[in-house]
Amino acid sequence: MPVREQSIQTMSAVRTNLESCILGKEFEITLLLTALLAGGHVLIEDVPGTGKTQLIKAMARSMRGEYRRIQCNPDILPSDITGVSVFHPHEERFVFRPGPVMTNILLADEINRATTKTQSALLEVMEERSVTADGHTYDLPHPFMLCATQNPIDFEGTYMLPEAQLDRFMMKIAMGYPDAATEKAMLQFHTKGQPVDQLQAVTTMDEIAAIQEEIRDVYLSDALSDYLLNIVRRTREHDAVILGASPRASLAFVMAVKAYAFLQERDYVIPDDIKTLATYVLGHRILLRPEARLGSVNTHQVLQQIINQAHVPVSSVG
């Protein structure tokens, strides 16, 4: 089915809002919106002060969505995230008090500073979109998206994310430092206060949920499905890789390329969509052999090699 013009205008307005707050990061904003529309979660790995928190907050404000932030640290408990049952003396029963996870956009700041037990509390949240407490299951608001951040430099007092949790993030992206011209513009722009505090909502979470359903109808040809799967399967067979991308990665990859095509105002996927997103969808899911890492090989190089070797379909639309 053709892409609805109203949906295109809605996402264009959201993108404009975000670009007005986070200068010079148009592509990173597109990746974040891609994950949102595909129903996925995002891990943002970068040094402090590059706009990670402001970007997530701006996205939630643009959609009139409920936004919560968790500052992860070693003493945070699973119940601090998911919620806890508290005895109500007047009613003489336990009452569930929801945690910050009961929201539309959840930011887990410095997620790798939480203990492994606390990190595991997010596994059900990320996969099932629900919380189980005292034998009762509570559904999260819809849509729901977890955006987690971590610092790639300071590892003191941190806990590595397990592979099972990394696999539940649709994408891993980095913000990076702005160029000189952009940083100068930021100095002038931020003298009037935080731009995100002045943002006006341009859509609602209900409209975002409707667009998420539209994404499923974006056309992906059989030839391109085979091309995408060929790239995924090659990650499992590469000599430098000890753990390749999972079937969950294949499903996430499909939804991501459909959402990305939609944001390019197309109702069909082309090979370049797959090439563009491969590193961001698959990179954090690949574990290299120790000897490959000692040889200064990284996952980006491995994926580029795989993409260059994979046969690109000549005809992909129709």
Per-residue pLDDT tens digits for 107-160: 999 998 998 888 888 888 999 999 987 778 889 999 999 999 998 776 666 788
List pLDDT tens digits, range 6-29. 999 999 999 999 998 888 899 999
Are 301 and 317 in contact by the 8 Å Cβ rule? The answer is no
Q: Is a pLDDT exceeding 50 seen at residue 237?
A: yes
Per-residue pLDDT of 253-272, as tens digits, reads 999 999 999 999 999 999 99
CA distance 318 to 315: 8
* The pLDDT value given to residue 2: 60
Mean pLDDT of 231-249: 94
What distance in Å separates the CA atoms of residue 56 and residue 60, rounded to the nearest whole number?
6
Nearest residue to 172 (alpha-carbon basis) of 143, 142, 153, 150? 150
Q: Is the pLDDT of residue 318 over 50?
A: no
pLDDT tens per residue, range 30-41: 999 999 999 999
* Span 185-218, pLDDT tens digits: 888 877 777 788 888 999 999 999 999 999 999 9
Of 53, 72, 68, 157, nearest to 105 by C-alpha is: 68
Give tens-digit pLDDT for 267-301: 999 999 999 999 999 999 999 999 888 888 899 99
DSSP state of 268: B
Q: Give, as one character, the DSSP assignment of residue 261.
A: H
